[in-house]
């Protein structure tokens, strides 16, 4: 295993941060897998999972059982990890810019431009190599101007040529769920089954230039643009894995998640040996555009009737919002049927606040599909 240290652009006199990446196996000996945790720095289940995964990878490497390269970044956001305000850790948005740490990643389709066509031919493998080389060139031309931009460039530079990219996040109170792009679904299914995902949410570009979509999106976009002329594979399977809720940080759960990730790596052929039998899927994939967010109709105390993981029928009451001055109790119902896969953690709602999310089967939203 090799540890590499990457210096972030210094934001201020006397201050330097760095990002550490852990490299297992042998580059070029097989597929490359990239895993990172806590890009939203206050989402910590993934950090513990990667702590456990590192121990397993070290043993597998010592036994000569790695068939490719696995890159692990357990602390993907040293900037956000250091943001504390009035005793609370705030790791989703950068204090300096107010930007979400998981937005504004490079648009490789635009960066590669029309010029990439001249480097393509009839061999899908050669096209994959040509596109990755062009991505590397494009990344090298980006000159970050801020510490946050340099963090984004370092993360993408570590991941851009990976066959599999897993970005480990969590929600507030949630069951394990996965976001991926529709063209990645076939590659996502084994991961979702090994991890026991209870919701799988699909989109073709959700609009936020998130880390996972920056790495997978241009592959299917180029394949569509050049359909019938040049074969272009979906050479990067990228997913955002939501490891339950903020406080679901426990050794037994994280150790099981790490075991499940190793099983997935065995299935991909990156770890030698037969993978354990693949569990049955716990859900069908549903469109992200079919996910309904329930909102507070007025301010008040939030009292949930239903738990994360419950199946909700359209029209069922999920949560009440109570104004204790007027004793108004307003029941909030879902308009779609599906799994209640995530709830908010705040129990006082301001008017319009997000309360929870239900994974409906039929797309009804369009445009920008992500939360702030």
Among 23-31, 34-42, 117-125, 225-233, which window interacts with Zn ion (CB under 5 A)? 34-42
Closer CB to Zn ion, residue 169 or residue 244? Answer: 169
Reference 26, options 272, 235, 273, 267; nearest CA is: 272
Residue 324 is encoded by which pair of tokens?
């204790």
Least distance from Zn ion to the Cβ atom of residue 201, Å? 13
Among 4-12, 57-65, 140-148, 164-172, which window interacts with Zn ion (CB under 5 A)? 164-172
Beta bridge partners of 66: 271
CA dist., res. 314 & res. 319, Å (int): 13
Among 38-46, 158-166, 318-326, 334-342, which window interacts with Zn ion (CB under 5 A)? 38-46
Least distance from Zn ion to the Cβ atom of residue 166, Å? 13
Candidate residues 17, 23, 128, 169; the one interacting with Zn ion per rule CB under 5 A: 169
**Distance between terminal CA atoms of the chain?**
37
- Torsion angle (degrees, nearest 10) of CA 16, 5, 102, 178: -150
Among 26-34, 35-43, 60-68, 135-143, which window interacts with Zn ion (CB under 5 A)? 35-43
Residue with tokens 């109790």: 329
Q: Is 142 helix (H, G, I), strand (E, B) or coil?
A: coil
CA dist., res. 278 & res. 191, Å (int): 9
Least distance from Zn ion to the Cβ atom of residue 198, Å? 17
Least distance from Zn ion to the Cβ atom of residue 251, Å? 22
Reference 8, options 116, 71, 96, 109; nearest CA is: 96
Least distance from Zn ion to the Cβ atom of residue 341, Å? 14
Question: Between residue 218 and residue 237, which ones bind Zn ion under the rule CB under 5 A?
Answer: none
Helix 251-268 and helix 45-62, axial crossing angle in degrees, nearest 10? 50
Least distance from Zn ion to the Cβ atom of residue 209, Å? 15
Task: By CB under 5 A, tell whether 32 contacts Zn ion.
Answer: no
CA dist., res. 38 & res. 44, Å (int): 6
CA dist., res. 155 & res. 74, Å (int): 12
CA dist., res. 170 & res. 164, Å (int): 19
Among 20-28, 32-40, 332-340, 347-355, which window interacts with Zn ion (CB under 5 A)? 32-40
Size of the site for Zn ion (CB under 5 A): 3
Question: Between residue 139 and residue 158, which ones bind Zn ion under the rule CB under 5 A?
Answer: none
Closer CB to Zn ion, residue 9 or residue 90? Answer: 90
Task: Give the pairing type, strands 199-203 and 285-287.
Answer: parallel
Candidate residues 23, 32, 40, 67; the one interacting with Zn ion per rule CB under 5 A: 40
Least distance from Zn ion to the Cβ atom of residue 357, Å? 14
CA dist., res. 110 & res. 103, Å (int): 16
Are residues 112 and 223 in contact, defined by beta-carbon separation less than 8 angstroms?
Answer: no
Least distance from Zn ion to the Cβ atom of residue 90, Å? 13
Closer CB to Zn ion, residue 43 or residue 248? Answer: 43
CA dist., res. 151 & res. 145, Å (int): 11
Among 40-48, 130-138, 187-195, 285-293, which window interacts with Zn ion (CB under 5 A)? 40-48
- Applying CB under 5 A, which residues contact Zn ion? 40, 43, 169
């Amino acid at each position: 295993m090799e540890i590499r240290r990457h210096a972030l652009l210094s934001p201020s006199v006397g201050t330097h941060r760095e990002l550490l990446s852990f490299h297992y196996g042998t580059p070029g000996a097989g597929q490359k897998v990239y895993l990172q945790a806590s890009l939203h720095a206050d989402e910590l289940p993934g950090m513990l999972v990667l702590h456990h995964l590192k121990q397993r990878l070290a043993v597998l490497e010592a036994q000569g059982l790695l068939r490719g390269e696995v890159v692990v970044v357990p602390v993907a956001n040293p900037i956000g990890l250091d943001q504390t305000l009035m005793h609370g850790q705030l790791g989703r948005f950068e204090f300096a810019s107010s930007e979400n740490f998981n937005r504004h990643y490079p648009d490789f389709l635009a960066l590669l431009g029309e010029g990439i066509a001249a480097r393509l031919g009839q061999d899908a493998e050669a096209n994959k190599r040509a596109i990755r080389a062009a991505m590397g060139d494009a990344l090298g031309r980006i000159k970050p101007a801020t510490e946050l931009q340099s963090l984004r460039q370092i993360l993408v530079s570590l991941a851009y040529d990976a066959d599999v990219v897993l970005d480990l996040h969590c929600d507030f109170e949630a069951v394990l769920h996965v976001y991926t792009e529709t063209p990645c679904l076939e590659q996502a299914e084994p991961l979702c089954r090994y991890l026991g995902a209870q919701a799988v949410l699909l989109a073709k570009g959700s609009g936020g230039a998130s880390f996972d979509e920056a790495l997978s999106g241009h592959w299917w976009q180029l394949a569509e643009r050049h359909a019938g002329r040049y074969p272009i594979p979906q050479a990067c399977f990228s997913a955002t894995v939501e490891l339950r809720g903020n406080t679901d940080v426990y050794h037994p759960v994280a150790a099981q998640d790490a075991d499940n990730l190793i099983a997935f790596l065995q299935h991909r052929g990156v770890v030698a040996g037969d993978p354990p039998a693949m569990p049955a899927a716990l859900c069908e994939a549903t469109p992200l555009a079919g996910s309904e967010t329930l909102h507070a109709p007025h301010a008040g105390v939030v009292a949930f009737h239903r738990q994360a993981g419950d199946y909700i029928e359209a029209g069922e009451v999920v949560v009440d919002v109570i104004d204790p001055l007027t004793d108004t109790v307003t029941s909030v119902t879902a308009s779609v049927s599906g799994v209640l896969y995530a709830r908010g953690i705040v129990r006082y709602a301001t008017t319009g606040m997000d309360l929870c999310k239900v994974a409906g089967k039929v797309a009804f939203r369009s445009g920008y599909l992500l939360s702030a």
